[in-house]
Every structure is written in structure tokens, then in C-alpha cells.
Amino acid sequence: MPDLTHFDARGNAVMVDVSQKAKTERRAVATGQIRMCCECYQAVRQGSAQKGDVLGVARVAGIMAAKRTDSLIPLCHPVQITQASIDFDFLDQACSIAVTCAVNTSGVTGVEMEALTGVSIALLTIYDMCKAMDKGMEMGRILLVEKSGGKSGTYHCKRI
């Protein structure tokens, strides 16, 4: 198990010093899903939800959240994001929507937290816009799919 770098020798939380790290191209992709009742799923898929363009709003919310991750997660560094996207896949059999967030930067620290935050907020936005139709929606399977760049190199999730 690698050392936990967010703690000093006395066990106090610290922001990691990245001043000596090399600037590299970095990318992270995360995904998550939201499952809902079939009526709600069809309304979102057809764009007929009462509150409007659910996925359009969720896309913007996810991108905005990725850009503001350092304001939400206490020990995250501010990252100059060079690209962020949110995409959706419809999983008809499960009445679920898969959300994918991809984030790129050229810097000294990775963007895994930004991708995971983008996915999480996009899912929460879908829930918020659809809760009148289905309060029992389930969000889950939020995970880092891949990352590249930096000292630790490339990672591809084997759990998918």
C-alpha cells in the first residue's frame, strides 16, 4: 500500500507539495449510472421531462463541477483544466443512464478527482430534475475508468 501523502508525520491533514513534480499531459475518465422507473427514463430519453432538457442541464452542471473540484474537496489542488466533457449512454434494459466525464490538463497533478466530481454532480442533477417523477432513483457504480500522465503512468480499470 503506498504512503498516504495527505498526512504529515504527526497525522495531520496537509495539501501535498507538488512544486517539484514535472508538468505532463494528464487525462482522467470516470463513469457512473443512475437507474430510474421506466416512465421517468422514457421522459428523459425523449426529452419530454417537465423541467426541460435534463441531460443538457446535467452536462453543464458536470462540467462546471469538474472545474470547481478544488472548492469542494478540501485537499485538492486547483487545476487548470484544458478540456472537460460529459457524455450519456442509455441502458434501455435497466432503465438506466450511464454518465461519463473526461477531463484533460497539462500540469503537475492529475484530474481523477475532477472527473469523478463531474460524474457525481451530473448524476445528482439528473436526480434533482427528475425527482418529481421518481424519488426512488438509484445512483451508483461511480468509478475511475482510466487515467494517464504523471509519475504513476497509465491506469485502466479492470472492474468494468
Question: Please, which residues bridge with residue 21 across strands?
Answer: none
- DSSP structure class, residue 93: G
Among residues 157, 36, 6, which one has the least CA distance to residue 96? Answer: 36
Q: How many CB atoms lie under 10 A from the CB of residue 25?
A: 12
Active-site residue, selected from the candidate residues 3, 89, 128, 134:
128
128 counts as catalytic: yes
Residue by residue, DSSP assigns 69-80 as: HHHHSTTPPP--
Q: Which residues contact 139 (CB under 8 A, 6 or more apart)?
A: 32, 33, 34, 123, 124, 127
Cβ-count burial of 70 within 10 angstroms (0-12 exposed, 13-18 middle, 19+ buried)? middle
Looking at the DSSP assignment, which residues form a beta bridge with residue 102? Answer: 29, 85
Catalytic residues: 128
